[in-house]
Amino acid sequence: GVPLIYNDCAGGRDADVGRILFDKIRAEPGRARPKKIPRSVNLVGFPEGEALGELVALLERSGLTVNAAVMPAMTPEQARGLDAAQAQIFMPNAAYAKVYKEIFSALPVLGHTFEPPYGMEGTRLWLRSVAGLFKLEAAAEKAFAAEFAPWSGHWDALRRRALALKFAFVVDRAELPR
């Protein structure tokens, strides 16, 4: 009674086990689509860790709900509930592009990719972009300002110090474009 997935890379019959399991979950008999959660998003491809928790907290303080944060891992429960979100936010990642297209584009949830939330200004713009999908830009700006306020003096001092530094990179010609 247990499904068998045969994987033979050497014979050219390799199976995408994650895709097979995802498709089986999505095709479960009697499976009903979950009810949409107002102002909700799925975060797709954002690395797990402290930074993800910080992004989720900023989104929630902006008036949004994070339905799921998936990739590189996804539980069966998360797979069953992805449809409940109103938007999917993809972390730009060329290594995940095929999965984004094959798995997530098939879902009845609009997908969006914004510049990644790197650095203070990048995070502020990313938060504003995601909140903007729901006309919550002002709430996002307020949430970001409240989070950043305790750090602004220290940040400005470090920024002034960094501006005084000069950097040089030694690379060969092939690496120069990077």
- On average, the pLDDT of the chain sits at 90
pTM: 0.82
Q: How far is CA 5 from CA 9, 21, 24, 167, in A?
A: 13, 10, 12, 52
Alpha-carbon gap, residue 14 to 35, rounded angstroms: 36
Structure tokens at 122: 């990048």
Structure tokens at 22: 């995802």
Alpha-carbon gap, residue 152 to 170, rounded angstroms: 33
Task: List per-block mean pLDDT (blocks of 10 residues) for the chain, which spans 178 residues.
Answer: 70 69 81 90 96 97 97 89 96 92 88 95 97 98 96 92 92 86
Burial class from Cβ neighbours inside 10 Å (0-12, 13-18, 19+) for residue 127 reads buried
